[in-house]
């Protein structure tokens, strides 16, 4: 819920400062990058649930933390090996991707796609947050963790929105 509220607050802040056209271009870029992120993150998270649970449950209790840490390292390497080239490609090829998927009239969103495509590279390690908190019995921390991310991102949005859509991206 906080994630969705954050997305709407960003759109409202952008609309209040820069108008509906800026919101349209930003939302198009955000959805294109978001859909691309989901192609990598959702399978990565589903596999993480299984692999982390297996690392926790297979073998003696005293080696549990070591097995989980090793699985996290392996999983992050694979996620980054898949995600970095994909998002760098999207950032570099943004004009062709936007033109091919949305048409020439949306080309102004291409610069935003190029900038926003770099964000998932930083977010990829977060794919492991839910599975890791769950298998370690720490899911109660997820709400506070999400609330902190919400507050920081909404605060940064209200600072950056008056400076323009490129700055916000």
Count of Cβ atoms closer than 10 Å to residue 2 Cβ: 14
CA gap 77, 87 in Å, rounded: 15
**CB contact at 8 A, 165 and 20:** no
pLDDT at 51: 93
Prediction pTM value:
0.84
pLDDT at 77: 95
Give ∠ CA 106-83-12 in degrees, rounded to 5: 45
**CB contact at 8 A, 139 and 49:** no
Question: Which residues of the chain carry a pLDDT beneath 70?
Answer: none
Structure tokens at 109: 């969103």
Which string of DSSP letters, residue by residue, matches 53-119?
HHHHHSS-GGGHHHHHHHHHHHHHHHHHHHHHHHHHHHHHTHHHHHHHHH-GGGTTHHHHHHHHTTH
CA gap 65, 73 in Å, rounded: 12
pLDDT at 96: 92
pLDDT at 71: 94
pLDDT at 6: 76
């Amino acid at each position: 819920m906080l994630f969705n509220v954050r997305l709407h607050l960003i759109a409202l802040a952008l609309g209040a400062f820069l108008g509906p056209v800026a919101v349209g271009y930003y939302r198009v870029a955000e959805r294109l990058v978001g859909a691309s992120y989901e192609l990598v993150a959702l399978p990565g998270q589903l596999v993480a649930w299984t692999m982390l649970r297996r690392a926790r449950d297979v073998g003696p209790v005293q080696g549990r933390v070591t097995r989980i840490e090793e699985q996290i390292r392996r999983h992050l390497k694979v996620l980054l090996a898949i995600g970095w080239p994909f998002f760098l490609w999207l950032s570099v090829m943004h004009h062709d991707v936007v033109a091919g998927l949305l048409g020439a009239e949306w080309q102004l969103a291409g610069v935003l796609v190029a900038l926003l495509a770099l964000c998932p590279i930083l977010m990829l390690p977060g794919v492991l947050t839910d599975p890791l908190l769950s298998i370690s019995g720490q899911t109660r921390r997820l709400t506070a963790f999400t609330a902190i991310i919400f507050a920081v991102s909404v605060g940064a949005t209200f600072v950056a929105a008056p400076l323009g859509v490129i700055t916000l991206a």
